[in-house]
Structure 1
Amino acid sequence: MTSTTTHELHALSSRVSIGNLPINEAEVSSTHNETALETEMRSLPPTDHGRDAYLVLAGCTIIQAPVWGYSLSFGVFQEFYTTQHNVVGSPGAIATVGSTLNGLMYLMMPLTFTLLTRYPHLRPYCGPAGLLITVASLILSSYATEVWQLIASQGVLCAVGSGLLFSPTTLYLDEWFIARKGMAYGTIWAGKAASGVVFPFLMSSLLSRYGAKTTLQAWATALVVITSPLLFFLKPRIPVSGAVARRPISWGFLKSEMFWMLQAGNVVQSFGYILPNTYLASYAHTMGLPAITGAVITAVFSLASAPGGLMLGMLSDRLKPTTVILISSLGSTVAVFALWGMARHIALLVLFAVVYGFFAGGFSSTYPGVLHEMRREDEGVDSGLVMGMLLGGRGVGFLAGGPASGALLKSAWSALEGMGHLGYSTQYGPVIVCTGATALFGGWGWMWKMLRRW
C-alpha cells in the first residue's frame, strides 16, 4: 500500500464511529470496517487533479485577498498614520500594529490547526465567524485615535478573524493535494502576493482621498462581498461523519531533530522578513520620494513574490527542503546587502523589491517540502498539523521582529555613517543589517545538515 493510500486510509478511519460500540462488537467488525474504508476511499474524488480539486484550489487562492489584504497594505497605512499625525504614537509604536497583526495571525495557527484537525466538524463554522470578527475589527479601528486602540483592533482582533478565515481553507487544500502539494501551496501564496500588488495602490488612493475612517469602513464592506460567496465553494475531500466527535492526532514529529532545525531557520527568517515590507514606504519618504513611491515598491515586492512562491513551491515537490530553503536564503541575503544597503535612488529600491520579493516572498512555499520530509520519517504524521506549527513559528518571528525593529530605529548607528547617502548610513541602517543577517540564517536547516556531515 502506498504512503498516499495509507495516509488517506488513516484519515478515513478517524471518521468511522466505532468508538461507541461494545469492545467485542468493535473487534468483530474490524475487518468489515477496513473493507468499508477501502471502498469509501476509492469512491472519493481524485487528489492533485480534477474539477473539484482545482475549484478548491481556486477558492483557496482567491480568499487570500480578504485574509491578507490589509496586512499586506499596512506599510501604506503606517506612512499615513505617521505623516498625518491623526493617531497619537511614535513611528516605532505604530509599526508594532503591523507586526502584531501578522505575528498573532500566524501564532494562532498551531492552536486552530490542532483544534480543527481533532474536531473537523468545526471547520465550516470558522469561516463565517472569522469574517464577522474581521469586519468588526476594521469598523472599530476606523474610530481609533491612539496607538493602543489600533493594536487592539487591527493588531489583535483582525488577526483572530483573519486566522479563522485562513485555517480551514488550508486544511481543505491539504486533503485535495498530496503529490502536488508544493504546487498547490505555491499557488495560494502567489494569490496572497498578487493581493499585495493591488491593495497598496488601492489603499493609498483611498487614504489620500477619503482618509483612514472611510477607507477602513469601505474595506470592511468589500470583505463581506468578496468572502461570503467563497465560503460555499470550499469543502473537504474526505467527508466528516456526523457521528464523529473528534479524531486522533499524531505528535510524533515533535521528536524529529530535523523538524526543529528547519523550524529554527523558519523563525529566524520570519524575524527579519517583515521589516522591508513594514519600512520600505517610510524609507522612500525619507529619501524625498513622492508618497506613491511607497505603494509602488510594496506592490513590486508582492508582484515578485507571486512567481517566487510558485517556483519555490514546485521545486519543493522535486528537491530536498534544505536545498530549496538555501536557494531562498542566499537570494534574499544578496538582495538586502547588495541592493537595499546600497540604494540611493528609486531604481535600486525597485530592483531590491523584485529580487527580495522573489526569493524571500516565496519562503513559505518551502513548507510542503518539510511536510514531505516529515512524511518520509513517519507516514502517520498529520501534514496539516505540521503546517500549523510552521506557520506558528513564522508568527513567533513576526511578533519578535516588531518591537525589535523599533529598538533598532532608535539605536545609535555610526559604523557606516561615512558612506554618503547609502541605506547603511541612514537611521534604517540597523534594520537593513538585521534583515540581511536573518535572511542568511533562515537557511539554518541546510547549515545544520552540512555541519552534521562534518
Structure 2
Amino acid sequence: MAAPPSFQPDKLEGVSNTPSQGQPQNVKPPRPQPPNGGIRAWLQVLGSFFLFFNTWGIINSYGVFQTFYEEEMMLGSSSSTISWIGSLQSFLIMFLGALTGPIYDAGFVAPLLYAGSFLVVFGHMMLSLCHTFWQVLLAQSICVGTGAGLLFVPSIAVLSNYFTTKLAFAVGIAASGSSVGGVVYPILIRELQSTIGFAWAVRVAGFLALFGLALACLVMTMHDLPPPAQRRRFIDWSAFKEAPYTLFNAGMFLCFMGLYVPYYYIQSVAIQQHMTSEDLAFYLLPIINAASTFGRLAPGYFSQWTSPLNLLVPASLISGALALCLLAIHTQASLLAFCALYGFFSGSLVSLSGPVLVLLSPHPGVIGTRMGMCFTLLGIALLIGTPVSGAILDGEGGTRATWVYSGVLTLVGGGVLGMARVSMMTEWKLMGARS
C-alpha cells in the first residue's frame, strides 16, 4: 500500500533553499514539515471544531428559522423571499473567502478570529431585537454571515500547518462541529422559544456561540513557520488553467446549488404534506445534521489511505440520487430513513472539499488563496440555489419540481467532479497522492 500524501517544503519565489556560492549564509532555512500530531496540533482541531460549530453549525440550523419565519414572524411572506435570509448568510461565509484567504496567507490569523467571533455573537444579540424582514436580514444574514465568513477559511487552513497524512481526518473531526452545531442549535431554539420566547432563545444561542468562539481564539495559533516571502494576490488566475482545479470548482458549484434544498425545506414540506407530526418535523433537521457527523468523520478517516476526491465523487452522486428519492417518499418511516442517509452522504462534501483543495495547491503558501477562490464560487451557488428552489416550491412545480431541481443539480455536479478526478490522473503524482 502506498504511503499517504504529504506536503513538500514550500518553495517560494525569490527564496532559495540552498545557498549558492557568494551568497550570504544567513538565508532562511527550508520551510519545516508540519508536525502531523501532538498536543498543540490537536488543540487546533479542537479550536477548529468550535469554529465549525458556530459557523456552519448555525447555518445548517437555518431550517428551523425558515419554518418559524413562515409560520409566525413573517406570516404571509413567500418561502422564496424568506429563504434569501439564509442564502445570503451562506453566501457570505463562502464569498468572503476571497478576502480572508490572502489575509490568512499573510499570517493575520488572530484578527480574523477575533473580528469574526465578535460579529457572530453581536449578530445574534441584534437578531433577538428584530421584528421585520429587513432587520433580520441585517442581523442574521449580514452580521452573522460576515463573521462566519471571516472564520471559515482559517478553520480549515490552519490545520494544514499541523497535519500531513492525517489532514483529511483532522478536518473531518473539525468539520463534524458543524453537524453537532446543526443538532444543538435547532433543538435549543425550538425548545427555548416555547418557554422563554424567541428573543431570549436567540440570546442564549449567542451566549453559547460566545463560549465556543472564545475557546477557539484561546487555543488556536499558527505553527511556527516562516511567513510568506511575498504578498499573495487575492486571485490566482493561473489556477484556472489547471483542468483539475477548474473542474473541481465547477462540480462543487453545481452540487452546492442543489445540496442545501432539503436542509431548508424538509421541515415545512413534511408539515404541509402531513408526513409527520409538527413536533417530530422540527427534529428532521437535527437528524440530518446528526447523521452528517458520521458522514464527515468516516470519509476523513478512510481518506488517509485513498484520495479524498475518490470519496467525494460517490458521496455527491449518492446525495443527488437520495434527493430524487424524495419524489417517492410519503411516509414517516421513509422520511426518517432519508434524513439519516442524506445527512451522512451530504456531510462529506463540506469536510472533504478542504483537503482536496490543499492537494490542488502547488505549495502551502497559496492554500488560503485557492480556498478563498473556490469558496467564493460556492457562495454564489448558495446565494441563488435555495431562493430559486423556493420560487419553484411556491410556483406551479411545487414540491416535486423542487426535489428534482435539487437532485439533478447535485448529480450533474457529482459527474463533473468525476471528470476532475479523471483529469488528475497525471497531475496527481506530482502532488504526492495516488491515482
How high is the TM-score relative to the length of structure 1? Answer: 0.83
Moved more, 208-217 or 298-307: 208-217
Tell me how far 1:10 sits from its aligned partner: 4.5
Question: Please, which of 379, 387, 399 is the counterpart of residue 403 of structure 1?
Answer: 387
Change (3 A) 1:380 1:96: closer
Residues of 2 paired with 1:199 and 1:280: CA distance? 17
Question: In the alignment, which residue of structure 2 is the partner of 1:387?
Answer: 371
Tell me how far 1:213 sits from its aligned partner: 1.4
Question: In the alignment, which residue of structure 2 is the partner of 1:33?
Answer: 27
Aligned residues of 1:181 and 1:368 also touching (Cα < 8 A): no
Q: Verify: 1:297 aligned to 2:284, yes or no.
A: yes
For 2:241, give the aligned amino acid: K
What secondary structure, in the 3-state scheme, does the structure 2 residue paired with 1:362 have? helix
Tell me how far 1:91 sits from its aligned partner: 2.5
What secondary structure, in the 3-state scheme, does the structure 2 residue paired with 1:238 have? coil
Tell me how far 1:326 sits from its aligned partner: 2.3
What secondary structure, in the 3-state scheme, does the structure 2 residue paired with 1:231 have? helix
Question: Please, which of 40, 44, 66 is the counterpart of residue 78 of structure 1?
Answer: 66
For 2:198, give the aligned amino acid: A
Residues of 2 paired with 1:57 and 1:80: CA distance? 34
Question: Please, which of 262, 282, 293 is the counterpart of residue 306 of structure 1?
Answer: 293
Q: Verify: 1:356 aligned to 2:342, yes or no.
A: yes
Question: In the alignment, which residue of structure 1 is the partner of 2:429?
Answer: none
Offset from partner CA, 1:10-37 (integer Å, 9 cap, x none): 49969x9xxxxxxxxx996554314xx1
Residues of 2 paired with 1:317 and 1:382: CA distance? 23
Tell me how far 1:434 sits from its aligned partner: 0.8
Change (3 A) 1:13 1:176: farther
Question: Please, which of 88, 108, 112 is the counterpart of residue 100 of structure 1?
Answer: 88
Q: Verify: 1:138 aligned to 2:124, yes or no.
A: yes
Offset from partner CA, 1:54-102 (integer Å, 9 cap, x none): 1111221133222233322211111112112456732221111111111
Question: In the alignment, which residue of structure 2 is the partner of 1:47?
Answer: 35
For 1:173, give the aligned amino acid: L
Aligned residues of 2:54 and 2:209 also touching (Cα < 8 A): yes
Aligned residues of 2:88 and 2:142 also touching (Cα < 8 A): yes
Q: Verify: 1:111 aligned to 2:105, yes or no.
A: no
Aligned residues of 2:54 and 2:178 also touching (Cα < 8 A): no
Residues of 1 paired with 2:76 and 2:327: CA distance? 31
What secondary structure, in the 3-state scheme, does the structure 2 residue paired with 1:237 have? coil
Question: In the alignment, which residue of structure 1 is the partner of 2:167?
Answer: 181
For 2:136, give the aligned amino acid: L
Change (3 A) 1:297 1:124: same
- Correspondences of 1:151-190 after superposition (within 5 Å): 151-190=137-176
Residues of 2 paired with 1:254 and 1:190: CA distance? 30
What secondary structure, in the 3-state scheme, does the structure 2 residue paired with 1:178 have? coil
Change (3 A) 1:227 1:365: closer
Aligned residues of 1:75 and 1:279 also touching (Cα < 8 A): yes
How high is the TM-score relative to the length of structure 2? Answer: 0.86
Aligned residues of 1:134 and 1:157 also touching (Cα < 8 A): yes
What secondary structure, in the 3-state scheme, does the structure 1 residue paired with 2:319 have? helix
Tell me how far 1:166 sits from its aligned partner: 2.9
Question: In the alignment, which residue of structure 1 is the partner of 2:399?
Answer: 428
Question: In the alignment, which residue of structure 1 is the partner of 2:305?
Answer: 318
- Correspondences of 1:334-349 after superposition (within 5 Å): 334-338=321-325, 340-349=326-335
What secondary structure, in the 3-state scheme, does the structure 2 residue paired with 1:428 have? helix
For 2:180, give the aligned amino acid: A
Question: In the alignment, which residue of structure 2 is the partner of 1:22?
Answer: none
What secondary structure, in the 3-state scheme, does the structure 2 residue paired with 1:151 have? helix
Q: Verify: 1:333 aligned to 2:320, yes or no.
A: yes
Work out which structure has the larger RCO, using CA pairs closer than 8 Å and 6 or more positions apart in sequence.
2
For 1:438, give the aligned amino acid: L
Residues of 1 paired with 2:356 and 2:316: CA distance? 16
Question: In the alignment, which residue of structure 1 is the partner of 2:204?
Answer: 218
For 2:410, give the aligned amino acid: A
Residues of 1 paired with 2:49 and 2:212: CA distance? 12
Change (3 A) 1:5 1:102: closer
Change (3 A) 1:143 1:62: closer
Question: In the alignment, which residue of structure 2 is the partner of 1:441?
Answer: 412
Residues of 1 paired with 2:286 and 2:413: CA distance? 24
Change (3 A) 1:63 1:320: closer
Change (3 A) 1:143 1:175: same
What secondary structure, in the 3-state scheme, does the structure 1 residue paired with 2:339 have? helix
For 1:33, give the aligned amino acid: V
Tell me how far 1:435 sits from its aligned partner: 1.0
Query: Highest CA radius of gyration, 1 or 2?
Result: 1
Question: In the alignment, which residue of structure 2 is the partner of 1:254?
Answer: 240
Change (3 A) 1:52 1:12: farther
For 2:373, give the aligned amino acid: M
Tell me how far 1:379 sits from its aligned partner: 4.6
For 2:284, give the aligned amino acid: I
For 1:230, give the aligned amino acid: A
For 1:47, give the aligned amino acid: P
Aligned residues of 1:190 and 1:309 also touching (Cα < 8 A): yes
Tell me the C-alpha RMSD between the 2 structures: 3.1
